[in-house]
Structure 1
Amino acid sequence: MLDKIYVISKRQPLRQQVSRATTSLIPISSRTPSPRDRVEMHGGIPVTGFTQTVFECLREAPFSLGLAIADSALRCTGQRPEQLCAQIAREQKRRHGLRRAAEVISYADGRSENGGESRVRAFLIEQGYLLPELQVELPNPLDPRDVYRVDFLWRLPDGRIVVGEFDGMGKYTDENMLVGSTTAKALVAERQRESRITLLGFPVLRFTYQDLARPYRLHNLLRAAGVPRSQDAARRFHASWDAAQGNHPKRRP
């Protein structure tokens, strides 16, 4: 949640810290705040305010982690991407990195519920895959009063539907997420849920942090499911991203 306060020093490279911010935003402390910093006090420690912290992260983070932060910012505030962009532009006038931050925010979606989901979506964007719908409700075929909400849903050109789920370990090990249950019961419940979704005729792709660390796994899953990929879309993204960073366009396969 973004309302948790973590404090790091501005003197530390933000790039080394940003991975901690995939589901939590990190307000940045400064022993010597600059005049343009919007400083708030937490426990007697000066930290940058919410919007500046988002900006400081987005102007330094790689695209995938930046998208996780931007998604989280939208989810927390209920803003639309253009509203967050406008607020950052007003408060951070003429700051280096505004274009990069705006580029990340243009892809952000507050419906993404955790950093893992955001990073899978960043992979899809970077690689030119067809983007899915997020947090779609599907009927439980055994109980019409019940629905299952899935992380990703692709409607393929041939009419087929493919479901995608990000499978973080927290739902099986975090006591707050287990809510009095056990890991074994959570695993069984998840298997039952998936089996009922497949009764609808929809294959389910499962993504993990291990897959994110080995992109060939993601490519293999998506290819096997028939999710379309456009090299032109990937090239357009990378050209735009390079321009947002002030880099010269690069040749990409």
Structure 2
Amino acid sequence: MRGVRQSRAILDLADGFAANPAESRMRWVALRYGLPVPLCQYELWVDGQQYFTDNLWIVDGPDGPRPVVAEFDGALKYCGAEGAAAVVREKKREDAIRRRHRAEFARLTWPTLQRPDAAFREMLEAFPPGTVPVLQPRPELEPRRPRRGARTRS
């Protein structure tokens, strides 16, 4: 049966905690290119305030474990009358997490996620020197190509 291997891989790596399709796509990019399975909606506390990250890896650096966070920045969150306040809240949130947990961040947008190579590079660049994990690409997560001569829907 066509697609069974790919379907099994997707189901094995799926996570029901993604808050939106962009977070799922970000996770797919990370896994497709070989990053370890990220923790989804990981809870971090700073000064009594609870925060959740979209995708997170904990890496061992020379000065102990630290988080690498991949966050999706959807334009909708920053639009309208509350847009400026949302930008300020997000900046304070990221600064607090960086300060308390020594976290590194990759912030991705839809245009970047539409270019998986670029999205992967941005995530990879967030890993501090010496903490980049060994990559294990998952070819079963590659997009399926239409069969030669197959009809496509229009």
Q: TM-score, normalised by structure 2?
A: 0.73
The equivalent of 2:150 in structure 1 is: none
* Residue of structure 2 aligned with 1:188, choices 75, 84, 88: 88
One-letter code aligned to 2:50? V
One-letter code aligned to 1:149? F
Per-residue Cα deviation, 1:152-173 (whole angstroms, up to 9, x for no partner): 2211143232122111112223
What is the alpha-carbon distance in structure 2 between the residues aligned to residue 204 and residue 109 of structure 1? 21
Q: 1:219 to 1:103 in 2, by over 3 A?
A: closer
Q: 1:169 to 1:104 in 2, by over 3 A?
A: same
- Would you say the 8 A contact 2:58–2:67 is kept in 1? yes
1:225 Cα deviation after fit: 2.4
1:114 Cα deviation after fit: 0.8
The equivalent of 1:130 in structure 2 is: 36
Q: TM-score, normalised by structure 1?
A: 0.47
One-letter code aligned to 1:203? E
- Would you say the 8 A contact 1:135–1:152 is kept in 2? yes
Q: Does residue 203 in structure 1 map to residue 109 in structure 2? A: no
The equivalent of 1:164 in structure 2 is: 70
The equivalent of 1:222 in structure 2 is: 123
- Would you say the 8 A contact 2:32–2:141 is kept in 1? no
For structure 2, list consecutive stretches of 5 or more residues without a partner in the other structure.
148-154
* Residue of structure 1 aligned with 2:15, choices 102, 105, 109: 109
Q: State the structure with bigger RCO (CA 8 A, min sep 6), 1 or 2.
A: 2
The 3-state SS of whatever aligns with 1:228 is coil
What is the alpha-carbon distance in structure 2 between the residues aligned to residue 120 and residue 108 of structure 1? 12
The 3-state SS of whatever aligns with 2:53 is strand
Q: Does residue 152 in structure 1 map to residue 93 in structure 2? A: no
What is the alpha-carbon distance in structure 1 between the residues aligned to residue 4 and residue 53 of structure 2? 33
- Between the two proteins, the alignment pairs up a number of residues equal to 137
One-letter code aligned to 1:221? E
The 3-state SS of whatever aligns with 1:135 is strand
1:1-253 equivalent positions in 2, closer than 5 A: 97=3, 100-141=6-47, 144=48, 146-158=49-61, 159-173=65-79, 182-200=82-100, 201-226=102-127, 227-230=132-135, 233-234=136-137, 237-238=138-139, 240=140
1:96 Cα deviation after fit: 6.2
- Would you say the 8 A contact 2:30–2:120 is kept in 1? no
- Would you say the 8 A contact 2:43–2:51 is kept in 1? yes
Q: 1:241 to 1:207 in 2, by over 3 A?
A: closer
For structure 1, list consecutive stretches of 5 or more residues without a partner in the other structure.
1-94, 176-180, 248-253
What is the alpha-carbon distance in structure 2 between the residues aligned to residue 112 and residue 161 of structure 1? 18
Aligned residues: CA RMSD: 2.8
